[in-house]
Amino acid sequence: MLGRSRLPFVLLAVAVTCAVAQDVPPWTEDCRKSTYPPSGPTYRGPVPWYTINLDLPPYKRWHELMADKAPALKVIVNSVKNMVNAFVPSGKIIQIVDQKLPGLLGNFPGPFEEEMKGIAAVTDIPLGEIISFNIFYELFSMCTSIITEDKQGHLLHGRNMDFGIFLGWNINNHSWVITEELKPLTVNLDFRRNNKTVFKSSSFAGYVGMLTGFKPGLFSLTLNERFSTNGGYIGVLEWLLGKKDAMWIGFIIRSVLENSTSYEEAKNILTKTKILAPAYFILGGNKSGEGCVITRDRKQALDVYELNPKQGRWYVVQTNYDRWKNPFFLDDRRTPTKMCLNRTTQKNISFATIYDVLSTKPVLNKLTVYTALMDVTKGQFETYLRDCPDPCIAW
Ligand SMILES: *[C@@H]1O[C@H](CO)[C@@H](O)[C@H](O)[C@H]1NC(C)=O
Ligand SMILES: *[C@@H]1O[C@H](CO)[C@@H](O)[C@H](O)[C@H]1NC(C)=O
Ligand SMILES: *[C@@H]1O[C@H](CO)[C@@H](O)[C@H](O)[C@H]1NC(C)=O
Ligand SMILES: *[C@@H]1O[C@H](CO)[C@@H](O)[C@H](O)[C@H]1NC(C)=O
Ligand SMILES: *[C@@H]1O[C@H](CO)[C@@H](O)[C@H](O)[C@H]1NC(C)=O
Ligand SMILES: *[C@@H]1O[C@H](CO)[C@@H](O)[C@H](O)[C@H]1NC(C)=O
């Protein structure tokens, strides 16, 4: 773990290195080929499947999964506590989280409150810390999402989940502490009602919202974080002050995956519902033209950018920057993603070639926890844990 004094220095060193080098080798590389099926040093391993039974009361749904994953969840919760204590050494913040946060935040809607209480009970982690773990995803995810349409009008949706920036750098083996600790918590979930799949998702055990998932035959959905000055912190503050008319982002995605019954309905909800933090929703459907990136501020959609295969727009790509602006100069994953898709061509698009694109540095980087591939029409859902051995950029 990093002490207070070293962290800024390391970040500065990393930033300087990246500033001079992000667009040259070894930080970038030629578009990868034939990386699928996954193997070799950028593949950490498979992701286990668990079933979540929606017919159980919310309090009990997560018990089986969390009985397996409690130790891994404790590791990450402790790391975050150590980081917080390193910045504010009195231990006061954790005390407030444990004792006051549940009361301050008040009730969460729908099943979320009871589900988090159930997780706290079975893992023996204070509810305030489980709630913090659930809020934390609204704030630190950097990602790349892609939807493609091939010549036959068949859609595919891929994403890299990049998570854990600024939360501690391990100088021994050049990795992000939280990113590494999330890998053992990564699970594929099959949410079932009446013993039938309602939706599937890749997620982190202990988190009751969703960031990546699909409803077979209907739609696929991923979240990418959007940074904005009118950001999530203000939304959280408003929530604390009692203004509870907005939805948490991970929770709205879970609700849409669980309860929406068409691409159009999902799009409508994701475009119009007030949310707590700005976001990009990347939504794919089950037929030609059904794919879009919805750029959101907290109140409304600023932009809905759609596939348009007739005009040659056979893919949409989203990282963490508005498409009408240049990406931050230290963090351009958009250009390499598009360049590699262009080189692949619409004719040769498949899980294999999308995995190739998502395996090309810096689209693959030290923050990448997993790569997910979704085919709504065929009902295929695959997730792979990733590694990015040196030389590899930190984000
Ligand atoms: C299509 O993609 C596969 C997988 O990467 C690759 O092996 C193959 O050479 C590509 N075909 C063409 C025509 O580019
Ligand atoms: C780096 O070290 C940490 C702590 O020992 C370990 O959890 C993690 O898996 C390692 N990461 C890599 C990429 O070797
Ligand atoms: C659920 O369905 C699976 C097959 O899809 C079957 O093996 C299992 O027995 C069913 N469980 C229940 C409780 O009906
Ligand atoms: C989905 O709808 C059911 C029935 O209205 C409701 O009980 C449940 O809380 C909803 N799920 C979510 C995640 O909002
Ligand atoms: C596509 O979704 C619509 C609902 O939006 C559904 O009626 C239709 O059956 C789906 N098509 C396929 C091929 O699953
Ligand atoms: C990809 O191809 C499109 C369409 O030909 C072009 O407008 C765009 O500049 C290309 N992007 C990159 C990064 O090569």
pLDDT tens profile 93-138: 788 788 888 887 778 888 999 999 999 999 999 999 999 888 877 7
- From ligand 4's centre to the CA of 260, what distance in Å? 10
- From ligand 2's centre to the CA of 83, what distance in Å? 17
Which ligand is nearest to the Cα of residue 262, counting in written order?
5
**Cα–Cα dist 355/38, whole Å:** 8
The catalytic residue positions are 143
- Residue 251 CA, closest ligand 4 atom number: 13
Residue 13 has pLDDT above 50, yes or no: no
Whether 346 lines ligand 6, by a CB cut-off of 6 Å, is: no
Longest Cα–Cα distance of the chain, Å, equals: 61
- From ligand 5's centre to the CA of 246, what distance in Å? 30
pLDDT tens profile 374-392: 999 999 999 999 999 989 9
pLDDT tens profile 88-101: 777 777 887 888 88
DSSP 175: E
- Beta carbons of 213 and 202 less than 8 angstroms apart: yes
Residue 242 phi, psi dihedral angles, 5° rounding:
105, 0
41 cis-preceded (ω within 30 degrees of 0): no
**Residue type, position 226, single letter:** R
Pocket test residue of 108, 203, 255 for ligand 4, highest count of atoms within 8 A of CB: 255
Q: What is the mean pLDDT of residues 342-364?
A: 97
Nearest CA among 109, 128, 106 for reference residue 117: 128
- Residue 286 CA, closest ligand 5 atom number: 1
pLDDT recorded at residue 235: 78
